[in-house]
């Protein structure tokens, strides 16, 4: 199995730089400190799966240049993970089909309310509006996207239940604060872990860096990449060298193999 993950965006809800902020991170000339909102591309055995549609999706996909999107996975419905949904339209147009999309059960009503037009039957040609063929994830069991097995991983984003996803030996878990006990077996044998490290100090909705390091050690993956990073983390060049072996800060455009 050939599997890569491209980090389309590694920032938190406001991105980095934050509008109007003059801190050392937001004014840094280091491209590692410039972070779009969080999305990722999984490329596996010739298929391409998009995780979340961040507000910066157009810019991200112009850089990543995927030929097609075989499926979309949503972790949850917060705007920093969904607001770029309309930028799926060019794929509807080129592929001449609805894009298969999987949504957590507790997010489907929000999707219908905010993006109901994307769920309506096509009238006319593809690409005028985004067009999704939605499946609700209401049972925690593996499913397939274009022949690729995906395992949902329930996690807690503060008090909100959301989903991470596992592809073979790689687990992608964003916006996590805690992992329910019943989800730990779903991480058995994970070799590459992607997870949240928002900043250096505690936050009510996300793991901070010390919590993320402890979580990564418990998972025991050979390599961990931290994402969904805010400007409060500090500069990449200052923080990354201090991390334990096998752990690094991700950055926009990074491609990793698993």
Each residue's pLDDT tens digit, 110-132: 999 999 999 999 888 999 999 99
Please state the separation of Cα 142 from the chain's center in Å.
18
pLDDT at 1 over 80: no
User: Which residues does residue 178 pair with via DSSP β-bridges, in sequence order?
Assistant: 156
Give residue 123's pLDDT. Answer: 86
What does 161-225 look like in DSSP terms, one character per residue?
EEEEEEETTEEEE-S-SB--GGGGGGGTT--EEEEE---SS--SSS--HHHHHHHHHHHT-SEEE
Give residue 59's pLDDT. Answer: 98
191 backbone dihedrals φ, ψ, rounded to 5° = -105, -25
pLDDT at 134 over 90: yes
Please state the separation of Cα 51 from the chain's center in Å.
5
Q: Are 118 and 84 in contact (CB under 8 A)?
A: no
Give the model's confidence band at 51: pLDDT under 50 very low, under 70 low, under 90 confident, else very high. very high
Average pLDDT in the chain: 97
Please state the separation of Cα 52 from the chain's center in Å.
6
Mean pLDDT across 59-74: 98
% of the chain exceeding 90 in pLDDT: 98
Q: Walk me through the domains of the chain, giving residue ranges and CATH numbers.
A: 3-257 (3.60.15.10)
H/E segment holding residue 60: helix 57-64
Each residue's pLDDT tens digit, 159-199: 999 999 999 999 999 999 999 999 999 999 999 999 999 99
């Amino acid at each position: 199995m050939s599997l890569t993950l491209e980090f389309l965006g590694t920032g938190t809800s406001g991105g980095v730089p934050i509008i109007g902020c003059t801190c050392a991170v937001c004014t840094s000339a280091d491209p590692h400190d410039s972070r779009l909102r969080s999305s990722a591309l999984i490329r596996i055995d010739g298929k391409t799966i998009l995780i979340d549609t961040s507000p910066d999706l157009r810019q991200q996909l112009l850089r990543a240049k995927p030929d097609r999107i075989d499926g979309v996975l949503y972790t949850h419905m917060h705007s920093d993970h969904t607001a770029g949904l309309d930028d799926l339209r060019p794929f509807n147009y080129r592929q001449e089909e609805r894009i298969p999309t999987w949504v957590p059960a507790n997010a489907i009503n929000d999707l219908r309310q905010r993006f109901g037009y994307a769920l309506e039957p096509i009238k006319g040609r593809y690409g005028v509006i985004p067009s999704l063929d939605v499946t609700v994830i209401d049972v925690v069991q593996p499913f397939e996207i274009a022949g690729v097995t995906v395992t949902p991983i329930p996690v807690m984003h503060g008090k909100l239940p959301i989903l991470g996803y596992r592809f073979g030996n790689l687990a992608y878990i964003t916006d996590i604060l805690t992992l329910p006990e019943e989800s730990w077996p779903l991480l058995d044998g994970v070799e590459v872990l992607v997870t949240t490290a928002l900043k250096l100090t505690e936050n009510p909705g996300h793991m901070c860096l010390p919590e993320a390091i402890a979580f990564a050690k418990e998972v025991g993956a050979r390599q961990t990449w931290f994402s969904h990073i805010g400007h409060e983390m500090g500069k990449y060049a200052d923080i990354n060298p201090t991390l334990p072996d096998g752990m690094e800060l991700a950055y926009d455009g990074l491609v990793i193999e698993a």
